[in-house]
Amino acid sequence: MGSGNIGATNVHRSAGTKAGLIVLALDILKGFLALWAAALITNNSALGLALATVAVMLGHCYPIFLKFKGGKAVACYVGAGLYLAPIALLATAVIFFAIAALTKYVSLASIASALIFPAIYWAIYRPADELLIATVLAGLLVAYRHKGNIERLRAGKENKFSLKSKVQ
């Protein structure tokens, strides 16, 4: 349905607001729980958390059970950020909502936020190098997964976000 993407924005557009919010919550929870489990298993090791961040993102983008055709990992990134750096995530959320409100492009807000999060994370927390590198890689992965959106933004053909879904 819709773009065929399994993410919350497409589910919202295709199946309605309630379904989109459920997908969003579950994907955020997936990112958070992956890091929570890694913290338990590795005694909160920076390397363990960094590897979990990258793994949950890659697993979401390229799931075996969906023939490696997954989502764009924005919500998983949010969940990982919520575990690692809630204050930095809150600051990034302000940027996300400002961009989305001004432009109506969730894709642009997602890309910009994913790329800026590591800088905000570093400025507030001064994390271990492994964690900073993991968040930079995760942000780059989100941007890469939005390559079609970037092309549509450049061409002026990107869908604008509306709180109204196509399903009523």
Structure tokens given for 103: 């432009």
User: How big is the CA angle at 39 (ends 34 and 44), to the nearest 5 degrees?
Assistant: 150
| Burial of 157 (C-beta count, 10 Å sphere; 0-12/13-18/19+) | exposed
Please tell me the pTM assigned to this model. Answer: 0.90
Q: What tens digit of pLDDT does each residue of 56-105 get?
A: 999 999 999 989 988 999 999 999 999 999 999 999 999 999 999 999 99
Q: Quick check: 52 and 34 in contact, CB under 8 A?
A: yes
pLDDT digits (tens, 9 = 90+) for 4-58: 667 777 787 788 889 889 999 999 999 999 999 999 999 999 999 999 999 999 9
Query: Domains of the chain: which residue ranges?
Result: 8-155
